[in-house]
Structure 1
Amino acid sequence: MADGVLSPGVNLEASQAIAAIQALRSSMKRVLDCLKDGMRNKETLEGCEKGFVAAFQESLHSVSRDLGELECLSSLVGELSKNRPLHSSGLLSLEPVQDKRSLYSELLQAYKRANKLQYHAGLAAGLLSQQSLRRSANQVGVSAKRRPKAQATTLISPPQYVDDVISRIDRMFPERTIQLSRPNGTMLLVTLGKVLKAIVVMRSLFIDPTIVKGYNENVYTEDGKLDIWSKSNYQVFQKVMDHATTALLPCQLPWMPDVVVRSFMTWLRSYIKLFQAPCQRCRKFLQDGLPPVWRHFQTLEAFHGTCRQ
C-alpha cells in the first residue's frame, strides 16, 4: 500500500483509508509509549515534567490529525455491497427480472439460519446426552429373561370398551345402523338410510380402510363374510370411498381414539343427503354427471371436486 501498489478489487479511496488507519495506529502507539516511559531519562524534575507534557501533547495532536484524515477518507469510500457474490450463486443477483433480484439475499439469509440451527442443534444434543434417562440393562439381581417387556397398552382397548363406544355412536342418529362383527379384528357395517353401505375395518379403535358401496350392492362374499376387497361398481361411491380415506388423515388422536371414531362417523353420516344437497359454491346438483361428493371436514358442507376450496 505504501508503494502505491493496489490489490485487485481495491479502489484508491479504500487504499488511502487503509494507510490512514495504519498511521492512526502508529500515533496511538506513540501515545501509549509516552505514557509507559513517563518522566524517565530526564536530568531534573522540572525538565522531566516539561518534556513529558510536550511529548504527550505532540502525540495527542498526531492522533487527532490522523483521526480527522481517516474520517474524511471514510466518507469517500463507497458502501460495500451486502450481496457479495459467493462463487456461481452471485449470478442470481444479476437476474434481469425485477421480482427475482432479491433471490440471492434470501438465499444468504437461509444459509445463515441453517448455520444457526445447526449450532443450536449441536448444543441441544450435548445437553440431552448429559441428561440421559435410559436405564442400564445390567440391573443387579434381575435377569434379562425375567425382565418383563413393555407393552403398548395405550394403543389397545378391551373389546368391551370398543363395543360400548360403538353402541353409543349407533344411538346418535336413528337413520344410521351399525352392525359389529369380529372375524379377524373389528369390522363395522354402517348402513346410511337407503343411500350407501360402508364397511369400516378397525384395529381396536383405530380405523384402517373404509369400503363404500351403494345401498343395493352386495357387501358379502360367497361364504357370508364382509367383502373388504372389491370396490363399488359406481363411480360416485368410489369417490366417496376415496374421500373417506382422506378424512382420516387430519384427525389422528392416539390418546383419544373414541373421539376420532365418533368424528368420522359424524362426517360419514353427512352423506345421508348425497343426492339431495346442492354444491355450496356453484349451487348445482350435478357436475360432470356426479353429485357433490366431497364434504368439508369441519362444516360438513357439500362441494363438487372442482368447487372445493
Structure 2
Amino acid sequence: MKKSEITQNFKFKLEFLLSSINLRIAETQLPLKMGDQEAEKLIHAIKLTQKLRGSVTKVFTDLSNGQTSTKEEEKEMLEDLQKSLLSMNDNLSDLEKISQSLPSTVHQTSNNISLVCLDPATDRTQLPSQLIHAHKWTNKVNRLSDYACQALQQATLRRTNKSQVGPGLSTKRQRRMPPVAHNIPASTVETVLNSLEKHLPDTSITVSRPNGSSCVLQITLSKTLKAVCVLRGFLIEYVNVKGYNEDFLSNDGKIDLWSKSRYKVFEKVSDLMMAGIQHYYYPQMPEITIRTFIQQWFNSYKTLFSAPCSKCGKHLQGGLPPVWRDFRTLAPLHDGCR
C-alpha cells in the first residue's frame, strides 16, 4: 500500500475527528464564575485537547515520511501509523468523556450549529441542477451573441454613407426622416389599389375600413388562394392566407382576421408572407413597397400548385408544394431546397 492510498483512506476520518474536536472545545466554554471542581475539569479538558492535537500531528508526520522502497519499511510505517491512530482515538475518547461532565452554555436554539460543517446532500437540494442549467444557458447566450456579431459585421446596409457627407458635417447631427408610410391619405391608397387591380386581371381586391383609418384588403388570387391584408397607409401590418374554398367571415358576418386556415400549406404561406413584408419594406418610398409586394411577389403564388421546384424539379416535398418564392427571381422553391 502506497502513501497516497493511505492518505485517501484516512483523510475523511481525520477531517471528521478535527471537526469533532472544535465542536467539543466550543461546548466546553463556561462562565467566568465556576467552582474549583469545574475549573479542574476544564483545565484537564484543555490538556486532553492539546494532547489530541499532538497525536493528530503525529499521524500526519507518519504519513509524510515519504514512500517506502521495501516491504519491511512499508510494514514498519503501517505499524507506526496504526499506533498513532490508536493513540489519537484514545485521546479523543478521554476528551469526549470529560466534556460530557462539563455544563454546556450553548443556547438551545443553536443546537443545529453542529450541522454547519456537514455537506448538504446533493440529491435533496436543487442548487447543483440549477447551476448546471445556468452554465448551459450562459454558454448558449455567448454562442448566439457570437453568431449575431458575425452577421452584423457582414451586413453592408448602413443608415448614412459617410463618403457622401461633407467635411464640415457630422453624421450625428443629421436629422432622421420621419416615417410617412402610415400617414397616407385614404384617397391615395385607394387610387394605388385600383391601379394594381387593373394590372392584375386574375386578382380581385376588395377594400373595407371596419376600424377607421386602417383598411382591410380581401384579395383573391386566381383560383388558388385568398388573403386578407391589413394596411395602415401604405404600411403592411398583417397578412393571413387561406384556401380558395375558405372565407374570412365570423359567425356574425364580420371580417375575421385571426382565424388560421385548416390547410397546412396555407399556414406556411401565411408565415412566408409575413417574412416578405419585412423584406420589401422601403420607408423612403412606401408606394414601391405595396406595389412590389402585391404586384410581383404575392402574384407569383398563383402557380403554387402547378409550378415545380426550380431546384429539385419535384412538385411535392414532405407533402407540400414549393411554397417559397425567391425575393429576386420569384422562382418557386421547397422550404427544404432554398
How many Å separate the matches in 2 of 1:276 and 1:212? 18
Q: Closer, same or farther in 2 for the Cα pair 1:202/1:155, shift >3 Å?
A: closer
Q: Kindly indicate whether the alpha-carbon contact (under 8 Å) linking 1:207 and 1:261 is maintained by their aligned counterparts in 2.
A: yes
Gaps of 5+ in 2: 1-167
> Is 1:211 matched with 2:234?
no
> Is 1:233 matched with 2:262?
yes
How many Å separate the matches in 2 of 1:272 and 1:280? 16
Q: Closer, same or farther in 2 for the Cα pair 1:212/1:302, shift >3 Å?
A: same
Q: How does 1:46-85 map to 2 (within 5 A)?
A: none
In structure 2, the residue matched to 1:178 is: 205
> Is 1:285 matched with 2:285?
no
In structure 1, the residue matched to 2:333 is: 303
How many Å separate the matches in 1 of 2:235 and 2:220? 20
How many Å separate the matches in 2 of 1:190 and 1:200? 8
Q: Kindly indicate whether the alpha-carbon contact (under 8 Å) linking 1:155 and 1:254 is maintained by their aligned counterparts in 2.
A: no
Bigger fraction of residues in helix: 2
* RMSD of aligned residue pairs (Cα, Å): 2.6
For residues 28-80 of structure 1, what are the alpha-carbon distances to aligned partners after superposition, in whole Å with 9 as ceiling and x for unaligned?
xxxxxxxxxxxxxxxxxxxxxxxxxxxxxxxxxxxxxxxxxxxxxxxxxxxxx
How many Å separate the matches in 2 of 1:280 and 1:133? 45
Report deviation, 1:128: 8.0
Number of residues paired by the alignment? 168
Report deviation, 1:180: 0.4
Gaps of 5+ in 1: 1-126, 135-150
How many Å separate the matches in 2 of 1:133 and 1:272? 44
In structure 2, the residue matched to 1:189 is: 218
Larger relative CO (CA 8 A, sep 6+): 1 or 2? 2
TM-score by length of 2: 0.46
Report deviation, 1:240: 0.5
How many Å separate the matches in 2 of 1:260 and 1:132? 29
Q: Closer, same or farther in 2 for the Cα pair 1:133/1:170, shift >3 Å?
A: closer
In structure 1, the residue matched to 2:249 is: 220
Q: Closer, same or farther in 2 for the Cα pair 1:153/1:176, shift >3 Å?
A: closer
Match of 1:195, as an amino acid? T
Identical-residue share of aligned pairs (%): 44
In structure 1, the residue matched to 2:188 is: 161
Report deviation, 1:226: 1.7
Report deviation, 1:249: 1.4
For residues 97-124 of structure 1, what are the alpha-carbon distances to aligned partners after superposition, in whole Å with 9 as ceiling and x for unaligned?
xxxxxxxxxxxxxxxxxxxxxxxxxxxx
